[in-house]
Amino acid sequence: MRSFQQKPHFLPMAAEVPFGTPDATGKTRIPAIQIKTSDGNTVAFSGRIDRIDVLETADGKKYFMIVDNKMSNKEVKQNSIVAGLQLQLPLYIRAARLGLDGYEAAGGLYQPIKDVLVASEDTDQINTQIDKELQTSGMILDEELVQEAAKPVRIARRLDTNDTVSAVSADEMYAVEDCAIGAVADRVTLIYRGEVSPKPVKDGMESPCTWCDHPNACKHDSTIPGCKIVEIDHKRRIEITQL
């Protein structure tokens, strides 16, 4: 506890933070993200951020960190963002940038929240499995002070794929946010053009159609031309960051 108090640390500022819609006081403190499509339309993108943590340093710098609670483990992968999946963190970071004057973006973290059952009586084995199941992922600014303040979050060194929180520069983080906004703009452009045929994307082992609640509505049928499942190829990495 003493060492926690002595060192600067991220602390929760607010939970369930809306952007683009009013909060409990009736004020819209964080505006919607305005997304322009290639056809010249503008869409206001709103949402709700699970938690925003903040850090204030001795020299007066202020940072915010987005925390998104997840029921499952989730790695942030650049190709998944381009494919229109895993958009929350980068979009939430951009929204917070628009609404939190004086703060710099320190990153965004997926935090698994779930019960972990381990069939073992070995304490080390139990702790290892719990750490693995509750491992945080996301991206964080590649600055020592910020990473120290985010501990015990484990940060990947560049090019190291063993940990799932990637250290990125401020420019790289901004580029990832732009990439997510571009992915939304692409899809909204297609919807405006009337192209609404189902195009499910598979990331890993499981197709979303196996757990989706709306198969009757979309009429997806992989035997119909154009109705196939797209699989993300993470080996063909898009070189914006090392995510």
Interface positions with ligand SF4 (CB under 6 A): 198, 200, 208-209, 212, 214-215, 218, 220
Q: What six digits make up the tokens of 227?
A: 């109705």
Q: Residue 12 or residue 215: which is nearer to ligand SF4 going by CB?
A: 215
- Cβ(42)–Cβ(188) below 8 Å: no
Identify any residues that bridge with 184 across adjacent strands, giving them in sequence order. Answer: none
Q: Residue 157 or residue 214: which is nearer to ligand SF4 going by CB?
A: 214
Q: Residue 157 or residue 219: which is nearer to ligand SF4 going by CB?
A: 219
**Among 159, 61, 55, CA closest to 107:** 55
Q: Is 195 helix (H, G, I), strand (E, B) or coil?
A: coil
Q: How far is the CB of 57 from ligand SF4 (least distance, A)?
A: 44
Closest residue to bound ligand SF4 by CB: 212
Q: How far is the CB of 231 from ligand SF4 (least distance, A)?
A: 13
User: 86 phi and psi, to 5 degrees?
Assistant: 55, 45
Q: How far is the CB of 18 from ligand SF4 (least distance, A)?
A: 26
Q: Residue 74 or residue 97: which is nearer to ligand SF4 going by CB?
A: 74
Q: How far is the CB of 109 from ligand SF4 (least distance, A)?
A: 27
Q: What six digits make up the tokens of 30?
A: 């964080």
Residue position matching structure tokens 């340093």:
57
Q: Residue 31 or residue 200: which is nearer to ligand SF4 going by CB?
A: 200
Q: Residue 84 or residue 112: which is nearer to ligand SF4 going by CB?
A: 84
Q: How far is the CB of 83 from ligand SF4 (least distance, A)?
A: 13
Q: How far is the CB of 36 from ligand SF4 (least distance, A)?
A: 26
- C-beta contacts of 93-97 below 8 A and 24+ residues apart: 93/66, 93/173, 93/177, 94/33, 94/177, 94/180, 94/181, 95/19, 95/20, 95/30, 95/31, 95/32, 95/33, 95/47, 95/49, 96/17, 96/19, 96/30, 96/49, 96/52, 96/64, 96/66, 97/177
